Amino acid sequence: MCTYVTEKIAVEGSGKGAQGWFPLTHATAYVDHPVHAPYGHTVNIDFLAPERGPSARVAVELTEEAALELVGAITRALAAAPPGLAGRAQTTGASRGTSTSAG
Amino acid sequence: MEAGTITITGHNGDEIEAYLARPSGGQPYGSMVVIHHMPGYDAGTKEMVRRFAANGYAALCPNLYYREAPGADPDDAAAFARAHGGVPDEQLVGDVDGAARHLRGLPGATGKVGVIGHCSGGRQSFLAACSLELDAAVDCYGAFIVAEPPAGFPLAVQPLLGLAPRLACPLLGLFGADDTFPSPEETGKLAAELDRLGKPHEFHTYDGAGHAFFSVDRPAYRPEAAVDGWAKIFTFLDTHLGN
Q: What value, to the nearest 5°, has the Cα angle with vertex B117 and ends B112 and B121?
A: 130
Taking the C-alpha atoms of residue B60 and residue B46, their distance in angstroms, rounded to an integer, is: 9
Residue A97 pLDDT class (50, 70, 90 cuts): very low
Inter-chain contact A48–B68, Cβ cutoff 8 Å? no
Q: Which of A24, A28, A33 to mutate to test the interface with B (most CBs of B within 10 A)?
A: A33
pLDDT at B83: 86
The predicted-structure confidence for A26-40, as pLDDT tens digits, reads as follows 999 999 889 999 998
Residue A101 pLDDT class (50, 70, 90 cuts): very low
Q: Which of A3, A4, A51 to mutate to test the interface with B (most CBs of B within 10 A)?
A: A4
Inter-chain contact B79–A59, Cβ cutoff 8 Å? yes
Which region among B117-126, B148-157, B218-227 has the lowest average model confidence (pLDDT)? B148-157
Mean of pLDDT values over B153-182: 89
Inter-chain contact A33–B120, Cβ cutoff 8 Å? no
From the list A33, A50, A53, the residue facing B212 with the nearest CB is A33
- Is pLDDT above 90 for A91? no
B44 part of contact set with chain A, CB < 8 Å: no
Q: Which of B41, B99, B45 is nearest to B65 (CA)?
A: B41
Taking the C-alpha atoms of residue B40 and residue A44, their distance in angstroms, rounded to an integer, is: 15
Half-sphere exposure of A59 (CA within 13 A, CB side): 21
Yes or no: say if B24 and B1 are a contact pair by the CB < 8 Å rule.
yes
The predicted-structure confidence for B101-150, as pLDDT tens digits, reads as follows 999 999 999 999 999 999 999 999 999 999 999 999 999 999 888 887 66
* Phi then psi dihedrals of residue A14, to 5 deg: -135, 155
**Mean pLDDT for chain B?**
94
Beta strand A42-48 with A20-32 is antiparallel
Provide the whole-model pTM.
0.88
Mean of pLDDT values over B57-74: 96
Yes or no: say if B66 and A60 are a contact pair by the CB < 8 Å rule.
no
Inter-chain contact B153–A5, Cβ cutoff 8 Å? yes
Inter-chain contact B38–A2, Cβ cutoff 8 Å? yes
pLDDT at B82: 85
